[in-house]
Amino acid sequence: MGLISEKMKFDFLVRLKFDISEGYDKAGIKTAYNDFARTLRTDNLKEKKSKTEKFLLKELKELISLDIKKQEEFDEKHRELCEKLKKEWSELSYGQIQKWVNMSLKYWLLFGGDKIANIEKNAKYFHIPIDSIIKEIAFGEKRNQADYKSWSKIENYEEYSEYQKIFRKNNERVTPIVKEFELFNNRNNKQ
């Protein structure tokens, strides 16, 4: 063991990236919001953000507590959540919605079960966040291609869902969110 333990290093990095003053659950949701906020064009931003964060916190805690037995069941709950979120904040695209939902779950998973109760219960069913990095490294879609469509412009759930299906098919032997962590973490490694 080195001078600084792995836990100390992890805790330090978490505190650099996340404002945990209101709890880890809110920190994940707020940071996930910031991940897509630059793509957002709307009025009454502060009011909508606050209201929707509370809504999302309640819904995600419910989702991770369910006794889900198969992928299709999680997919349906995920779809319902995204549709409810669309009703809460209609200006959001499904690309922005999935990014907020999926990154919140990813951050919660990063924090672990001692910070977020039940986070690993259904994690094997979690969807991967679709963004420009994953579109390139997992799907071969590059921003400079003529037919490239930004993740934030995904306008319907079916189009979004297709990415999940393809990713799962291409990575059948591993939990999708674990593979996404691996791809994201290794994207700049030269081998």
In a domain, 131, yes or no: yes
CA distance 78 to 126: 9
In a domain, 178, yes or no: yes
pTM: 0.90
Going 131 to 109 to 10 to 187, the CA torsion angle's sign is negative
In a domain, 146, yes or no: yes
pLDDT (tens digit, 9 = 90+) per residue, 153-175? 999 999 999 999 999 999 999 99
In a domain, 14, yes or no: no
In a domain, 7, yes or no: no
pLDDT (tens digit, 9 = 90+) per residue, 20-30? 999 999 999 99
pLDDT (tens digit, 9 = 90+) per residue, 68-121? 999 999 999 999 999 999 999 999 999 999 999 999 999 999 999 999 999 999
Q: What is the pLDDT of residue 191?
A: 42
User: Between the CA atoms of 69, 70, 76 and 79, what dihedral angle is there, to the nearest 10 degrees?
Assistant: 110
Number of structural domains, the chain?
Answer: 1
What is the domain range of residue 50? 22-185
User: Could you tell me which residues come within 8 angstroms of residue 111 by beta carbon, excluding any fewer than 6 positions away?
Assistant: 14, 24, 27, 28, 119
